[in-house]
Each structure stands twice: as structure tokens, then as C-alpha cells.
Chain A
């Protein structure tokens, strides 16, 4: 603490205040969450004891499975989870009534159901994913408990259902009512950070002070931010009706941002290609570039305020207005810019710059207008966020859960193991959570660590502390520190799996019951069985087609390339947004496994960047094609070039690349020829000019020898290499 404060009255007091404010910002919310989840768990335990439910631990475990620092709306969000639980219980009812006498068939059916639910949890996101996790988990819990005594099944199922539902309701009500961490605040700070980051990114790349690695890291951070906003936004729709009414604005902002950032990337790429070969166009553009950098610099005012954004909007608009004049002046000073190869290059870059400015203008304007409570913008197109979860990968996660359940069940049946049921229920819980984890490898490792530490804590508690306790109050007080450690870990997103694993295992092993009973031997036996279950599920998930393996990488790569095929053939309305959000989603997926930063991963990121560039250019060509009535021979040429680009990205080979290059070149000259005709209306000439620049952009991207495409397909054929010098 600093005592050098100039405040005359009690300097330590103001310093203390500052410290406290800082603590409230960085650590405070974690502690609020810790106390809230401990409170919810104890409340769930107390209520289930009060209602004389058999297993208060189920309510507690459920609290920790569903409790997250973000708040959602109590009832609606819980309905998904309760729906999942109901579905699970119904299925277990079906299984027990069909196969009560047939353990093999029963376990097979259970494995199928849990596999299905794990696949669902991996495929969907957020609360839908939770619904699937709980459907699998509650089916296993109820089914396994009831299998030995089918006649009592119905009441057992109802009790399980009540326990899980109680846990869900306690978690929901506590997290929403006590000091809620409003998602709308988070959305606000997310948007502001992104705006500031993006502006900083643009300025940094314009001034050329940052190197390539830094720029890429900044890009990936922005990507993470987009996805985070998308995920909070969809949860916030349930939380707050005010957010709901602002939802369209947010989605528009997101989509404008993605568009602007891709165009900027393309522009940057083109500029790099031009300056690399020291063409006159490159030099001329660098000048323009620097003046744009000056325009975007905002001296004084804090850059993230709406006023600063409004000022930027005005400056960008002014720059747009004088850009054409500047370009004409540049052309006059530099006669070489009008020569045929340079002219197209220069025009392409200028067209991209125009488009970037237009998009940036729209983005800053939306950002500046966000705080206003005016009417909704009219949405021109479909601007929903397209997420990409590979159904095959999700099914694979389900298959892994299925296999691990079968393995444990076989062992259980063969050895008549008295603790088979607890091992099996942990296989179910862990595989559902593994399946929905973004990075399965890390998920498995962390979950195992969490369960191991939970086991140790539970044994210590059962042997040393439990015998001393007397009454609920004392028991709750003794539990509190153990639960708080777990929830504190959960507040760190990287370690969610450790925290959840620890706290779930601890509650499950301790099994607070009514009346209270201390049974250390039981804890040790059951804990070993459960740990074994976790370990088997972990082993299956890590070894059977591991998520970091070559197959998975290939799959992801082909999914990335398929984005271009989408851009080539999907219906045009809303295509840009669909394309952009899909690409962002894939990029984010790559980023979440980036701690394994190896060559392969790097190459995938490089692929994604080049897909982004070419895909956008293809979309613009298609939009322009749709805008005017073209003669047959011309539209055929353009269609041919698009089709061959799609073919190249669905089947990579040097032959297809050369073919695509040829066709794009043919299309460019066809457009050029058409532009020479006298009979064209000015706006048609404009469209053709734009089309030519987009086609040229595709061509330069295909010719670039530093992209992932060139690295995979191999060097360029002889006759084109010399072209690069001026074509690029």
C-alpha cells in the first residue's frame, strides 16, 4: 500500500479504498461466486434433508455441475436442465421396465442412451449442452440405483428426479438473486474491449510497428472475443428482457465487426504482396496507408467511449470522402500506376480499401449508437451466428462414452463387483463432461486431477473431521471450506474441470445422509471404484481416436476448406455473415487447442486465414454477378472460375490449382473485354470493375507462394512463376 498519497486527510484511508476497489474488480466477483455456490449447495443439502430425500448429495452435486459464475434467468434456463433430467429419468424407466431381469441388455441400453446424450452435449452449446449432460447423468443414476429392486423403481425415480430438480432450482435461484453478475455488464465491457482492441490492431498494422506474430496474436484475441460475446449474448437473452430488445443491435455489431476485420486482413495481405515485390503500386499504397493511420488515431479522449467512436466515425467519413481524390492525385504523380499490370493491382487494393472503410464506418457507427435506446435497426439479412460443430466428432464422443460404459459394465458383470454401480455412474458423469469440453485432452487430465484431489479431501474429511461433528450447523460449517476451495478453482476458466471434478467427487464420496452416518471404509471403497471409472473413461477418451490426433486434424482441415465451397454455392442472402461466423467459430475451435502449438496447428490457422480471404472474394464476385444481367458467355466464364475454385478447395491438388488459376484468368480477361464495350451503362461498368478486382484478388491469393495453399499443393508451374512478379 502506498503512503505517499497527497491526500491530506488520512492518506491510508484513500489508499485502502483504492485497493478495495481494485480487489473488487479483480478478485471480488470470484469470492461472491464462491460464497454463492457454497450457499446454494448447503441450501440444497438442507432442503433435501428437510424433505427427507434419500440422497442429499445428488442435489449438491447437481448444484456444482450447473453453477457457473455467469447468471442466467432462473426459471427459463433451469427448464432446459429440468427437461433434460425428466427425459433421462423417463428413459431409465423404460430401460428398467424392459430389462429388469437382463443385466446385459439393460447396461447395453444404458450405454446407448448415455452415448447419445454425450454426443448431444458435444454437439450443442451452453444450456442445451447441459440439458444433454443431465439427461445422461440422471438416467444412469436412477437406472443403476433401481436395477436391483425394480418393484421400487417408480418411487426411486421420483426421488432422484426431485433431488436433481432441487439442486437445479437452488443453483438457479441463488445465482440469480444474490449479487448477480449481470451479463449485460459483461456484454458492455466485452464490446468496449473489442472496439478498443480492434482499433489498436488496425493502428498497429497501419503504422507497421508490430510484427507478424503480434498481429496474429491480436487477431486471435479478437476472435475469442467475438465467440465469447456470442455465447454470453445467447445466455443473456434469457436473463434480461432489456438485452432481448437490444439483441438485434448486438448481432448486427458482431456481423459488421467480422466483415470489417476480414476485409482488413485481405487488404493487408494484398499490400504485403505488393510491397514484397517492390511494385510502384505498393509504394503508392503505403502512402495512403499511413494517412489512414493518422485518421484513425484518436488523441485525447478515452478511445472506448461512445463520443470517441462518434468522432472516429466522422473522421472515417471524411477520409472516405477524400479518398477518391487522393487516389486520382496518386495516379497523376505516378504514371506507372496506369500501366496494365500495375493498374489492376492498384485498383484491387483501392477497392478493398474502400470496402474496408465502408465496413469500418458502419461498425463504428453502430458502436457509437449502441448506448442509445432508440428503435431497432431493420435487419436486412439473416444475421444469426452460424456455429460449426462437426456432427461426426460429436458422434465420436458419444461412441467413446458408449465404449467406456461397455468396458466397465463387462468388468462389473464378470467380477460381481459390489461397487460397480458407483464406478459406472462416474463413467457416465465424466464422459458427458469430457464430451462437451472444448479440448478433450486437457479435460480428461484436469478431471482426473480434480477427482483425485476430491478423493483425498473426502477421505481426510470422513476419517478426521466427520466423527467430531454433531448436528447440521456444525456439519455445514465444516463442509464450507472444502466446498469453497472447489468453487474458487471453478472461477478460473482454464481450470473449470479441476474445480468441478474436485467438488463433485468430494460431495459424492462424503454422501451426507439423514441421519448422519460416518463410514470411512465405505468412502474409501466407493472412492476407489469411482476413481477407476473416471480413469477408464479418461483412457478411452484419450486413446480411442484422440481429439488431438491426425484424423481429427485432417477432419478439421477439410471442414475449414469446405467454407470456401459454402461461399461458392450457398444461396447469397445472408451468406457473408454465415461465412464469417462459421470461419470465426472454426478459428476459435483451433485457438482453444492452441496450447499444443505445433506445426500442424499453425498450418491450420494459416489455412483458415487464406480461406477467409478467398471465400470473401468469391462471395463478392457472386454478389456482383447477381446484380446485373450479363451476357451468357461472360457469366459462364465467371461461373466456371467459381466452380473450379470450389473444386480446388474440396480436392486439393496442383492440377486443380492450375485449372482454377487458368479459369480465373480467363474470366478476368472476359470481364476486361466486356468492359471495353461502348454500350455499357455507367453502373454496369462499375459492377464489372468491382468484379474484375475481386477476381484479381482471388488470382493473387492463388498465386501467393507464402500461403498454406502453396505449401500444401506445391510450387507453381514454370510459366506462371514469372507472372507473380507483377501479377501479385
Chain B
């Protein structure tokens, strides 16, 4: 996987795309977990949410860069 790609001759880090995709994934997951009531068992939902996001982003990023 290349580190950067060229969009109309502007170099964009591919991590950025991964970041956007992670946001999308996190939003979907958040909706599902909210619907199922997972957050009722979580001490600090926002922290949990951000942590989930970091996990998703971290995993995807590492997989991409491997």
C-alpha cells in the first residue's frame, strides 16, 4: 500500500482515507450499540466511544501499513 496517493496532482496521505473510513465505521457502530443499549453498561460513554474509534483507526492503520 503506498503511503501517499495523488488526487488531481495533490499528494494525499492514504492514512487520511483510513481516518475517514474509521469515522464512518465508528458512526455506524455507535448507532448499532446505541440501539442495543450497550451504553447503559458503560461507565463513561464518550470515552468509550473515542476509545473504540482509536481501536478501529489503529487496527485499520496498522493493517494498511503492514
Contacts and interface: CB of A to CB of B under 8 A. Distances in A.
Interface of A: 71, 73-76, 79, 154, 173, 176-177, 180, 239-242, 244-245
A67 to B, nearest CB: 15
Contact of A154 (B10, B30, B37, B47): B10
B5 to A, nearest CB: 15
Given A241-B39, A242-B40, A245-B34, A75 B46 contact: no
A241 B53 contact: no
B27 A76 contact: yes
B35 interface: yes
B18 to A, nearest CB: 15
A65 B61 CA distance: 31
A154 B23 CA distance: 25
Given A73-B49, A177-B47, A241 B23 contact: no
B33 interface: yes
B39 A177 contact: no
21 contacts: A71-B46, A73-B49, A75-B23, A75-B53, A79-B23, A176-B46, A176-B50, A177-B44, A177-B47, A177-B50, A180-B46, A240-B34, A240-B45, A241-B31, A241-B34, A241-B39, A242-B34, A242-B37, A242-B39, A242-B40, A244-B34
Given A180-B46, A241-B31, A75 B26 contact: yes
Contacts of B35: 241, 245
B35 to A, nearest CB: 7
A76 B27 CA distance: 8
Contacts of A73: 46, 49
Contacts of B26: 75
A492 B9 CA distance: 48
Interface string B11-47: 0000000000001001100110111010110001111
Interface centre among A75, A241, A245 (most CB of B within 10 A): A241
Nearest to A179: B44
Contacts of A154: 10
Give the interface SS of chain B, mostly helix, strand, loop or mixed: helix
A176 B30 CA distance: 15
Nearest to A175: B46
A241 B33 contact: yes
Contact of B46 (A74, A79, A244): A74
Interface of B: 10, 23, 26-27, 30-31, 33-35, 37, 39-40, 44-47, 49-50, 53
A180 B35 CA distance: 22
A337 B26 CA distance: 68
B40 to A, nearest CB: 7
Contacts of B37: 242
A123 to B, nearest CB: 26
A74 B34 contact: no
Nearest to A176: B46
A74 B50 contact: yes
Nearest to B26: A75
A242 B38 CA distance: 10
Interface centre among A71, A75, A242 (most CB of B within 10 A): A75
A242 B34 CA distance: 7
Nearest to B37: A242
Nearest to A71: B46
Contacts of A245: 34-35
Nearest to A158: B10
Given A75-B49, A79-B23, 10 more contacts: A71-B46, A176-B50, A177-B47, A240-B34, A240-B45, A241-B33, A241-B39, A242-B40, A244-B34, A245-B35
A76 B26 CA distance: 10
B8 to A, nearest CB: 11
Nearest to B40: A242
A176 B44 CA distance: 10
A75 B27 contact: yes
* Pairs of residues from A and B, 3 with the lowest C-beta to C-beta distance, nearest first: A241-B34, A176-B46, A177-B47
Nearest to B35: A241
A725 to B, nearest CB: 62
B49 A74 contact: yes
A261 B40 CA distance: 35
A177 B53 CA distance: 13
B34 A177 contact: no
Contacts of B53: 75
Nearest to A76: B27
A575 B39 CA distance: 36
A244 B32 CA distance: 12
Contacts of A74: 46, 49-50
Contacts of B10: 154
B52 to A, nearest CB: 11
Nearest to B47: A177
Contacts of A240: 34, 39, 45
A71 B47 CA distance: 13
B26 to A, nearest CB: 7
Nearest to B10: A154
Nearest to A155: B10
Contacts of A76: 27
Contacts of A176: 46, 50
A73 B47 CA distance: 10
Contacts of A242: 34, 37, 39-40
A173 B34 contact: no
Interface centre among B26, B40, B45, B46 (most CB of A within 10 A): B46
A180 B49 CA distance: 13
A76 B49 CA distance: 11
A289 to B, nearest CB: 45
A159 to B, nearest CB: 14
A605 B37 CA distance: 45
B46 A177 contact: yes
Contacts of A71: 46
Contacts of B44: 177
Nearest to A240: B45
Contacts of B49: 73-75
A292 B49 CA distance: 50
